[in-house]
């Protein structure tokens, strides 16, 4: 979509005579691109009118950067639609915040539940999951696997078939245990059946969620409007999460859903991995849609991560860098999300990175973390020398993590290098601290 709109704008600036006719043609081209990107037809028509009135083409001075002005008008009009114009739900620390998920089967509820739980967990909330999907066989198992991987407490039942009972029991249990974020996953159906809606309403009144989130698949396209409207009418929701924005769908459906329900998008799913969840930002979303890059999003993203550096910094000041420090640093890099996605937020780089994926880099990082996770606590907190003294330890760790001895060695080499650096810095830092204390 971005390329097409940019193309239309470029055509306009290249046209031999920049007249009203060329401008109209370009508006038509942009409108077509938006409609094809699943933005609701009526919305597109309104948008076209808005742009035409905000950009008074005939009044633009000849020297004006027309491409810039029109691009900004398109950008502003789209941002205005997805901008919630209201404060998002903020869970309160020290309280039990219940968040319930609704949406059609396959929308990505179960996957997104765990992503969101991890997101809050990484930001210091005590988080847990409740599986109230008793409809689909294996639903509880799926949530359980995800939860175990993310180390998040979960609740569900293999014998209780009433989702309302499971939801109520799970939420009650976790409330008693003072969990701060309790996320309730529910079942979906292929269609918007009455049974589904009745079930949703019952669960809603049983668990009294502080927020209900509708999960919407980005590839739903033009159907997004009707679907979100139907959900809104029965099980009112206060937020939308759009999943699979990494797919082929252009994301116009998301814009239509917001416009139809006046409900903010809070997060977007950007892949199948646990970390593929981004806070929704209207400007970022639209600039990505239009292929304009997103520096602000990148900065906010990195700032929003509470990277855990405390213990490592303390160790370094003492001239130490354990295997665990190495692991924490790897985890920090992972938290930032796939590098190609970061690159996608940087103007200029986004084009260059197109079509490239860094699955390799990501999986390498993951393997290194697996290696650390297969070590004993003692080994993790060591300086790594025990592996040199007893190389069989490396064989054990390689086997336990499903990697090779070579990879374990590689990780330990890296850690040793960091350790040496820490040692060298010790004098300097200690000296600096002493100097500070004397002041
Ligand atoms: P549910 O039926 O609503 O619970 O949907 P699931 O959570 O089981 O997800 C259905 C499928 O969509 C799974 O294969 C997920 O891996 C996939 N999925 C979910 N979110 C995303 C996303 O953001 N990107 C991609 N590429 N796949 C996703
Ligand atoms: Mg599910």
Tell whether 78 and 104 lie within a shared domain: no
The count of structural domains within the chain is 3
Tell whether 76 and 174 lie within a shared domain: no
Instruction: Specify if 301 maps to a domain.
Output: no
Sheet holding 265-269, edge to edge: 154-155, 127-132, 181-186, 97-102, 211-217, 239-243, 265-269, 277-279
Atom of ligand 1 lying closest to residue 269 CA: 23
Given its phi and psi angles, is residue 88 left (phi above 0), alpha (psi -120 to 50 degrees) or beta? beta
Q: Which of 63-77, 220-234, 318-332 has the highest mean pLDDT?
A: 220-234
- Domain boundary at 292, 327, 347, which? 292
User: CA nearest 351: which of 340, 361, 362?
Assistant: 340
> How is residue 283 written in tokens?
């400007």
Q: How far apart are the C-alpha atoms of 382 and 386, rounded to whole Å?
A: 8
Q: How far apart are the C-alpha atoms of 130 and 100, rounded to whole Å?
A: 9
Return the residue matching tokens 């029965």.
234
Instruction: Specify if 304 maps to a domain.
Output: no
Tell whether 364 and 413 lie within a shared domain: yes
* Phi, psi for residue 238 in degrees, rounded to 5: -110, 0
Comparing 222-231, 320-329, 342-351, the range with the smallest average pLDDT is 342-351
SS3 of 247, please? coil
**Could you tell me the residue range of the domain that residue 349 belongs to?**
310-438
- Domain boundary at 58, 82, 106, which? 82
Q: At what angle do helices 139-150 and 109-122 cross, to 10 degrees?
A: 20
Mean pLDDT of 52-71: 77
Instruction: Specify if 91 maps to a domain.
Output: no
Kindly write down the DSSP assignment for every residue of 60-102, as one continuous string: S-TTS-HHHHHHHHHHHHHHHHH---SPPP-PPTTS-EEEEEE
Atom of ligand 1 lying closest to residue 276 CA: 23
Tell whether 74 and 141 lie within a shared domain: no
Q: Indicate whether 344 pLDDT > 70.
A: no
Q: How far apart are the C-alpha atoms of 261 and 241, rounded to whole Å?
A: 13
User: What's the 282 CA to ligand 1 centre distance in angstroms?
Assistant: 23
Q: How far apart are the C-alpha atoms of 146 and 115, rounded to whole Å?
A: 9
What CATH number does the domain containing 314 carry? 1.10.260.30
User: CA nearest 248: which of 268, 267, 220, 229?
Assistant: 220
What CATH number does the domain containing 28 carry? 1.20.120.140
pTM of the model: 0.66
Q: Identify the band that residue 352 occupies on the pLDDT scale cut at 50, 70 and 90.
A: very low
What CATH number does the domain containing 181 carry? 3.40.50.300
The pLDDT score that the predictor gives to residue 165 is 96
Mean pLDDT in the chain?
Answer: 80
Instruction: Specify if 87 maps to a domain.
Output: no
Instruction: Give the ligand whose atoms come closest to the C-alpha of residue 108.
Output: 1
ipTM, interface predicted TM-score of the complex: 0.99
Tell whether 371 and 256 lie within a shared domain: no
Q: For atom 9 of ligand 1, which residue has the closest CA?
A: 108
Instruction: Specify if 267 maps to a domain.
Output: yes
Atom of ligand 1 lying closest to residue 101 CA: 3
Integer angstrom CA distances of residue 318 from 180, 311, 378, 379: 35, 11, 19, 19
């Amino acid at each position: 979509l971005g390329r097409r709109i940019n193309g239309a704008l470029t055509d306009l600036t290249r046209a031999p005579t920049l007249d009203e006719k060329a401008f109209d043609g370009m508006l038509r081209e942009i409108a077509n691109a938006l409609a094809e990107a699943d933005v609701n037809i009526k919305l597109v028509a309104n948008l076209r009118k808005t742009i035409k009135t905000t950009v008074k083409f005939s009044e633009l001075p000849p020297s004006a950067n027309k491409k810039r002005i029109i691009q900004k008008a398109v950008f502003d009009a789209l941002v205005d639609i997805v901008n919630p114009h209201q404060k998002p739900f903020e869970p309160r620390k020290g309280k039990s915040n219940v968040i319930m998920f609704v949406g059609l089967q396959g929308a990505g509820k179960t996957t997104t539940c765990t992503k969101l739980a991890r997101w809050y967990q990484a930001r210091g909330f005590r988080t847990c999951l409740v599986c109230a999907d008793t409809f689909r066989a294996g639903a509880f198992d799926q949530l359980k696997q995800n939860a175990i991987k993310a180390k998040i407490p979960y609740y569900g039942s293999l014998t209780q078939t009433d989702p309302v009972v499971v939801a109520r029991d799970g939420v009650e249990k976790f409330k008693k245990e003072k969990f701060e974020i309790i996320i309730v996953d529910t079942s979906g159906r292929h269609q918007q059946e009455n049974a589904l809606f009745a079930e949703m309403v019952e669960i809603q009144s049983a668990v009294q969620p502080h927020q209900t989130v509708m999960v919407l698949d980005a590839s739903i396209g033009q159907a997004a409007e009707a679907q979100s409207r139907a959900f809104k009418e029965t099980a009112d929701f206060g937020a939308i999460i759009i999943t699979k924005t990494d797919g082929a769908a252009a994301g116009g459906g998301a814009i239509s859903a917001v416009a139809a329900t006046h409900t903010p998008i809070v997060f977007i799913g950007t892949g199948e991995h646990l970390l593929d969840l981004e806070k929704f930002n209207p400007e970022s979303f639209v600039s990505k849609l239009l292929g304009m890059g997103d520096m602000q999003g990148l900065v906010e993203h990195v700032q929003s991560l509470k990277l855990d550096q405390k213990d490592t910094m303390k160790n370094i000041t003492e001239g130490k860098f354990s295997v665990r420090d190495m692991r924490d640093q790897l985890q920090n890099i992972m938290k930032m999300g796939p590098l190609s996605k970061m690159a996608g937020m940087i103007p200029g780089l986004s084009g260059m990175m197109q079509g490239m994926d860094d699955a390799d880099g990501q999986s390498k990082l993951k393997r290194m973390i697996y290696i650390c996770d297969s070590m004993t606590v003692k080994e993790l907190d060591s300086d790594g020398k025990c592996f040199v003294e007893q190389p069989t330890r490396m064989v054990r760790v390689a086997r336990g993590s499903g990697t090779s001895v070579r990879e374990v060695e590689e990780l330990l080499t890296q850690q040793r290098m960091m350790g040496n650096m820490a040692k060298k810095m010790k004098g300097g830092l200690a000296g600096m601290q002493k100097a500070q204390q004397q002041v």
